Amino acid sequence: MNPCIDCRIFLFKKAKNYAKEIGANFIFTGEVLDERPMSQHYQAMRLIEKEAGLQGKVLRPLSARLLPETEAETKGYISREKLLNIQGRSRKPQLKLAEEFNIKDFPCPAGGCLLTYEQYAKKIKDLFGHKKRISMADIALLRIGRHFRFGKNKIIVGRNEEENKLLVARRKQNEFYFELPDIVGPVTVLQGPKTKRAIKIAAELTAFYSDAKIEKVKVNYGREDLNKSLIATIPTKTEVNKLRIVNEEKAIKKK
């Protein structure tokens, strides 16, 4: 799930508005031709400029001599002879330039948009596939806990004390949350219909990720308060994996 082109168009439009506001003569970027497969090949660059209303107005100094002249060059703001012709995914030319100019503090080439991470992208796809109205709160929750899907239900299980607190604080008023009363374990939030089966599964997942040493444990749950309870049977790793939206761990180890 990689909407890089849409993202670039959005950013270029913002840059265009700001350039007009401050009276800038041109816009320039640190892009390198063919460095990013989705948004920095030649056709993508031309499309992005067109959709943003910036055709011929974006200067890319690192690859400019491989691209058509821009207004910044034809109007004499920039000398084309001083521009570069870097191309491809290797960062060696940029690193060499940084060394020549004694630039020590620059971004690492790794990392970036969360949507380029397979596990996070799967969570986004699942969210879009099961919910019509999506809020920023829904998006923020994708970075918290382990995520499970049971039909129309989303179940989120905290991974540590900090996430447990966040899940309790960020849950909606109509959502149940689950905890073990006598054993160290996670907080679990149940989204969607509160059917008996969904409640049972949420309780079982809570028990699975707890420190329970026995097969059956008591799990408390409720909306405002944990005023309900049931006895949950700890599921097998196979049963848990079938419900996972993404397998964030290479192996689930039952404690």
pLDDT tens-place string over residues 64-97: 999 999 999 999 999 999 999 999 999 999 999 9
Beta bridge pairs of residue 244: 148
SS3 34: coil
Spatial CB neighbours of 122, under 8 Å, sequence gap ≥ 6: 245, 246
Least confident range of 36-45, 140-149, 226-235: 36-45
| 22 and 135 co-located in one domain | no
Mean pLDDT, residues 212-217:
94
Q: How far apart are CA 34 and CA 53, in angstroms?
A: 22
Last residue of a domain, one of 95, 111, 127: 111
pLDDT digits (tens, 9 = 90+) for 99-130: 999 999 887 766 568 887 888 889 999 999 99
Q: Is there a single domain that holds both residue 157 and residue 61? A: no
- Position 150 in a domain: yes
Residue 50 pLDDT: 96
In a shared domain, residues 93 and 184: no
Q: What is the pLDDT of residue 22?
A: 97
Judge if 91 and 127 occupy the same domain: no
When pLDDT is averaged across residues 43-62 and rounded to a whole number, the result is 96
Same domain, 79 and 150: no
Average of per-residue pLDDT across 220-229: 94
Percent of the chain with pLDDT over 90: 85
Q: Assess whether 123 and 231 both reside in one domain.
A: yes
Beta partners for residue 220, in sequence order: 179, 229
Per the DSSP assignment, residues forming a β-bridge with 229 are: 220
Overall domain count for the chain: 2
User: What pLDDT is stored for residue 253 in this prediction?
Assistant: 44
Element (H, E) at 242: helix 237-243
**Mean pLDDT throughout 168-196?**
95
pLDDT of residue 218: 97
User: H helices within 23-160, ranges in order?
Assistant: 42-52, 71-74, 92-100, 118-130, 136-141
Report yes or no on 253 lying in a domain: no
Pair 32, 84 in one domain = yes
| Average pLDDT taken over every residue of the chain | 92
High-pLDDT (> 70) share of the chain, %: 94
State residue 111's pLDDT score. Answer: 59
Query: Of 111, 140, 165, which marks where a domain is finished?
Result: 111
Give the CB-side neighbour count of residue 6, counting CA atoms within 13 A: 4
Q: Is residue 174 part of a domain?
A: yes
The tokens for 157 are: 């299980």
Q: Do residues 97 and 124 both lie within one domain?
A: no
Domain boundary among 83, 111, 139: 111
Tell whether 66 is covered by a domain. Answer: yes
| Token pair listed for 192 | 């969607």
190 and 133 in a common domain: yes
| Measured distance CA(64)–CA(56) in Å, rounded | 12
**Per-residue tokens: 51:** 């959709």
Structural domain boundaries, residue 219: 117-243
In a domain, 251, yes or no: no
Q: Are residues 131 and 194 in the same domain?
A: yes
pLDDT tens-place string over residues 7-40: 999 999 999 999 999 999 999 999 999 998 888 9
